[in-house]
Amino acid sequence: MKEILYVLTDKYADHEAAFLSQAINSDERGLIENPKYINKIVAKSMCPVSSIGGFRTLPDYTFETLPKDYAAVVLVGGMGWLTPEADVALKLVSEAVAKGKIVGAICNAATWLAKHGLLNEVKHTGNGIEQLNHWGAKNYTNQKGYINAQAVSDKNIVTANGSGQLEFACELLRLLENDTPQRIEQYYQYNKVGMVELFTPKRFDFNTVGLFTTDNRKMVDFYTKVFGFTTTWDGVQPNVEMYMGKMRIILFPRADFEQMTSQQYSYPKGYNGTMELAIDVPTFADVDREYHNALSLGATSVMQPITEPWGQRTCYIADPEGNLIEINSFVK
């Protein structure tokens, strides 16, 4: 079995590896042993490593006794990544990136990647752009590649903020092909939404918007870059499912939908004035920030941010198909 190397520093964040390690060590439902990969711990010495939760973990390797080959390197977050001791991992991680190996970094470990210039060629996230700028200093030059999302996967590098441990796990599970995309999505929904929400009978569950499209690739690129939607789309299947929290967008190619329903439809030209998607952000300042970020990533401006008499800060942009998107907040 190929090994996944988890790099731990002192006071590592034990919860940040929990979803990933459990799914690797068993199937996504925690029922049977999964023979595809095996979890191994790497630390600066063979002494137990203490977590912020008080667990003491015995390493399998030091940086001097690493195996010649492995499937992935996972940097588990914690305060140790902001100290000089973390730099003992630099040779391993730099070589993994250079070889195109799968590398995951969550929370302060993503900040450590920025500090060493290892995020300058990939889309990424972390504990906020301010932290990456502060700790990355002159070595971090890819502010445009930052995406405000729980987790981001690009070119075999997965990054996440400190609360994105589930999204972090699922992005790595997809890259590792640990199970089918459908099973990994089930694992995500089960742990994100919970048993009560998933299994309580409901009359309705309105959580999906369908958009009829002419170019799915452009739309996927737009929604993943601008708003951090995730998708398992392989670029081949006609329909696309994208997720952000409980929100799901399905992209239907117009021609395929017409063939399925045996109907022909008329479509708006220019902006689609028949509906909108509404995105809530925390504060007025975030409305302006997300508006300008969206424009920098290819969105079309429909209405610049304004403050309405009823106390709402709002603006409108359009996606590549002309669908209107409102970004708004009621909090100054």
What amino acid positions are annotated as catalytic residues?
A: 107
The Cα 181–Cα 307 span in angstroms is 42
Tell which residue, 144, 77, 101, has the closest CA to residue 3. Answer: 101
The Cα 25–Cα 144 span in angstroms is 36
Contact by Cβ (8 Å): 299, 222: yes
The Cα 127–Cα 109 span in angstroms is 10
E-assigned strand segments in 218-264: 230-231, 240-244, 247-253
Task: Name, in order, each residue with C-beta under 8 angstroms of 183's C-beta and a sequence gap of 6 or more.
Answer: 27, 28
Contact by Cβ (8 Å): 228, 167: no
Residue with tokens 């589930």: 166
Tell which residue, 101, 147, 94, has the closest CA to residue 116. Answer: 94
